[in-house]
Structure 1
Amino acid sequence: MSGDQARQQIPVAHEVSGRAELAALMRPAIPSLVEWIVREVWQAVPVYARHGRVTRHGVECAVVLFVDLVEDPLAPRERLYETCRRLGAGEAYEGRTLDDLQAAYRVGTRAGWRWIMRLGRRQRLSSAVMARLAEMLFGYADDLARMSIRGHREAEAELGGTRAGLRRRLLRLITGPVAPTDAVVAELATAAGWPVPGEVAAVVLEAPVEPCWGPEVLADLEPPQPCLVVPAPADARFLAALDVRVAVGPPVAPSASAQSLRWARTTLRLVGEGALPDVPVTWCAKHLTTLWLLCDPALADQVGRQELAPLAGFPDRTRRRLSETLLSWLENGGNSEKIAVDLSVHPQTVRYRVRQLKEAFGERLEDAETRFAMQAALRASALRLPDLSP
């Protein structure tokens, strides 16, 4: 409803002589005044247009109580004060300041005063009555704002104690076995004060560290394997400053953090086993093939036993030499000269070993799919046992 329509609801009456009579003049226009103030607030502070029911309820409570106070200054205010306190707390819980809410109060107060001035002109209210109404309105608006400030401060104090727990809960949710929806992540992130990035990377730490990061980092420092979730791409300087060995998972969507964490944990394990270089920061993205080959050691063993079964009959030393020769033969397309350089042996030695391999494997060496499986099994074995030499 427009301001003109709200104005038309103001009845023309005789000279006003008391509080009850003044309140009686105002009550019929309450519904139209509420609609007008709501629209003014929505236009000036668009964020509240998305929460229309809450805005309208708050404005209606405020207008009705103001008219009650015009009639009786001792009218109970507790219900409205609680509403204002909750509005302020709600801003804190959503991670916002009071700027929008205070702007809404100012807009509503100005709209209310314009309506009162029109009432005064039509009813020919005295300057004394208008002065009293102005004092009441602006003092009333200050009271409401103070209650919202109180609610905001109380909520911030509460969040200060619970936010750390909410952030751990959020981290465990996004790294858990069931991927959460984006809506669930957004809701909990708001409560936890975590600005949701487009992509994240999980970071696994060898040992707990003292927190030295901002709100953009989620952390769970509980043993045995503390971890972080950081915005991607991860800051190399920040990771180095942690001063412990870490592994950084590949970038993923926040709801898929569990995948990044799984790869980061596998990477740190492989570093500890010697399959990957021992450096302060290991980036999964640089070792994806190794991770793929070694992500499931038991499965890799099964593939090796199946695809390399013909080598099982040779003595250990011979088996290791034939294994490395077979891998080089697969990688170099059977070129004896290249294999000899690769293995630092004479080409004649290569040809002798290749004959042994062909006798052992037969036609399987001619099958492309079998060769691929053999190469994968041999690579996995070489990565897991890098110290073995022929």
Structure 2
Amino acid sequence: MWHSLWLDRLVAPYRRMHRHVYRLVEGAGMTLVAPERGARPSREPALRNITRDRLAMLARQIVRAAMPGLPDDSNFTSIVSEAITAFVDAEGSCVLASQQVEVRMRDLGGRLADANTPLERIDEAFDTIHAAVQRGLQMALGSSVSGHVVIRLREGIVAYLAQLQTQLNSGWEHRQRARSTPAPGLEDLRATVFRGGGSRLDHALELSGFDPTAEFTAIVSVVDPLPARVLQDPNVLAGNDVREALAPVAWSMTLGDLVTRQVVLGPPAGLQRIGDSLDLTRRAAALLRESVAYDERTIVPCTDLLGPLLVGGNRLLVELLVQKHLGALGAAGPERRVHLGEMLLLWLESGQSVAGVARTLNIAPQTAHSRAQSLRKIFGDDLEDPAARLELILALRTALPGWTAETAR
């Protein structure tokens, strides 16, 4: 284990030197490096000048150095390239770069656990990767970059590799726990969370190996099954229905890279309280599936469907609300109806002045005043009545997405 000790000694000075900038954040079942409040991740713009050819050469050097000690993995080369690109795009910020590749590193750790790769071998691989990067750094930068910039980059690379190894090891350890978890324990947790049955939740959590304090987010696909790389991730609790899963909150930053079909993202909650969040997310997905609510985005936050969720369980109630309050907008024509509806909703929800609404919508002040006059003529005293205003907001939140989709066709 001298390799691990050597790596710890190498990282320790960097951590001491940057103690005022970086802290480890434990949350959502993941470990992230984040800047302390008020601190800013350091940037090295010189990285932007590295050519693609030099980056590709550096990636090949890393792969050649690490692969002899690791099992074959068809994704390893692409993960190395992504990690290098993330570091360059983040201009050397360990914080930002590690967040970009966290899901991929944890997934790789899980696959290495499936291949029965010992942690000692992973330690050795990171030692060789570190040496390969430090050897190839000056070649990649070229002769125009030297001195303190190179020193800072070398320090940043040490921290970055340490964080990547932390992420990979976390995926490895989680997969190992999952493999050693008795099947009844995991099934009991699924039954408790996804079906509302099974034994006491605390006992099921203890058997499953999941952190009971970590916050998760419900992910419910509107129509299609969730991708296998989501359902099979060691950090994810997959449901018995392949359209449902619970994922760490940090996934909300990277979920766009994992899904291609529409999903609803629920409000975060600990596993002890995730049932209510899951039920709400299921209802929101059903509203989109049944065309009661409309949203063209691939990832739809549940909180953006609160209006339809309040009234969407009853189609007649939706129709009555829209008919009661928005029928007069039908005579305005499809495009003008959308413009008036967008302005009215923002006006009611924000409490801004007409000039403020104009700035938010990026329209001319005279246009906003003209629309405000039209809205006052149509809705009159309802704009001042609290109960009517609430019903107007609910009606607009329900109807506007459909109107917008109509004009886009």
Q: Same fold (TM over 0.5)?
A: no
The alignment's TM-score, normalised by the length of structure 2, stands at 0.40
Structure with the bigger RCO (C-alpha within 8 Å, sep 6+) is: 2
Which has the higher Rg, Structure 1 or Structure 2? Answer: 1
